[in-house]
Amino acid sequence: MGEHDEKPYITIDGVQISVDDLPEEAQGIFGRIQRLNRKKVNLTLDIEEVQAGLNFFTNKIVGIINQEGEQSETEDEEEVVTKSEN
């Protein structure tokens, strides 16, 4: 087996302890810690994706409002020009 085939470990008081060296009860708890860490990573990714979606739709609304504002200004300018021609 190569160098990259490292067994999982936990660091306690600065000492790395292989999961195989832990008592059976502690091995079960270690497994839970690993699952919770994976879950935390997935939740972090989910939050980033949700934030990206929120940013997209917020920017979409701002764009729509800005576009409507520009249309209103153009309509107001056209109205002024039409009135001044009469």
> Cα(61)–Cα(11) distance, rounded to whole angstroms?
49
> Cα(82)–Cα(9) distance, rounded to whole angstroms?
79
At 6 the pLDDT is 81
Task: Give domain status of residue 3, yes or no.
Answer: no
pTM above 0.85, yes or no: no
> Cα(23)–Cα(25) distance, rounded to whole angstroms?
6
- State yes or no: pLDDT of 1 exceeds 60: no
Task: Give domain status of residue 4, yes or no.
Answer: no
Task: Give domain status of residue 81, yes or no.
Answer: yes
β-strand partners of 16: 11
Q: Which domain holds residue 15?
A: 9-85
Token pair recorded at residue 40: 């935390």
Query: Is the backbone of residue 13 left (phi > 0), alpha (psi -120 to 50) or beta?
Result: left
**Based on the structure, what is the number of domains in the chain?**
1
pLDDT digits (tens, 9 = 90+) for 35-46: 999 999 999 999
- State the CB neighbour count (10 A cutoff) for residue 76: 10
Mean pLDDT of the chain: 87
Tell me which of 76 and 55 has the higher pLDDT: 55
